[in-house]
Structure 1
């Protein structure tokens, strides 16, 4: 049995700088088969760096406070999730959640069956500087804590963070 309080979990943010408070609760609890991250999003911030899919993990987001907007699929269909509501994404479903409101959003990202992302099983949709279009990119986390993106159409790579 492990027990923590949110206040005691250290802030560990995404290297893309897209949010100001992310607390990896599952790390402090020592989970192996379940991921849990606590977020506080100020206006304009997001849970992740952009539209992405996890091929090895399904995700559920619980909004405790405020209203988050999720873009779903390559078509970026928008869905609002308010306080007390949850939204689920199956493996391989592209999504991004963000705070488009003027109020703070507090919520949790929950994932299974792993406690950490396997970056080889993730894809992001970003602008390719070589193709000059929004394309799917493979994603890798470097030892320095930065993200490397590789276009699946042309192979062009770039690193952020």
Structure 2
């Protein structure tokens, strides 16, 4: 058994401006990723609309209201409501409300697999220039992230 105070967990800032507290390591979870997000008005949990190839995610709104963008729509999730995204389902969460948003995010398995992006603020809709796949995998390199087509392997550096 492991116990912790959420407020003592280390805080990092996401690229979308949200404050994230990772609880997984402190609790010693082997198969579950657990994070708490505090998202101010106008900020996002993630800048890009993304999906994980192996991980399903559940977001539980503890306070406020979250807006999740998918490829096809937007859905508002209120306090004490939850939303689930399966592996490969694209989403991007934000706070459009006038009050802070507090969200508990659970992901299983803990190892998310590859991250795919279908939209970024810099590029808009993302797709493979060679085969037309409508999403690209994000690979880390020494020179920074590179987009790679998960179908044909084409590397694309949009810079």
Common topology (TM > 0.5)? yes
Number of paired residues? 148
Alpha-carbon distance in 1 for matches of 2:124, 2:38: 31
Alpha-carbon distance in 1 for matches of 2:41, 2:96: 6
Instruction: State the superposition RMSD in angstroms.
Output: 2.5
Query: Deviation at 1:138?
Result: 1.2
Query: Deviation at 1:158?
Result: 5.2
User: Counterpart in 2 of 1:24?
Assistant: 22
User: Counterpart in 2 of 1:5?
Assistant: 5
Alpha-carbon distance in 2 for matches of 1:79, 1:29: 31
Of residues 136, 141, 150, the one that matches 2:147 is 150
Alpha-carbon distance in 1 for matches of 2:83, 2:89: 12
User: Counterpart in 2 of 1:125?
Assistant: 118
Name which one, 1 or 2, has greater alpha-carbon Rg. 2
| Alpha carbons of structure 1 residues 46 and 128: separation in structure 2 relative to 1, 3 Å | closer
Unpaired runs of 5+ residues, structure 2, are 127-134
Alpha-carbon distance in 1 for matches of 2:49, 2:60: 18
Query: TM-score of the superposition, structure 1-length normalised?
Result: 0.81
Query: TM-score of the superposition, structure 2-length normalised?
Result: 0.82
Query: Deviation at 1:117?
Result: 3.2
Contact in 1 for aligned 2:18/2:45 (Cα 8 Å): no
Unpaired runs of 5+ residues, structure 1, are none
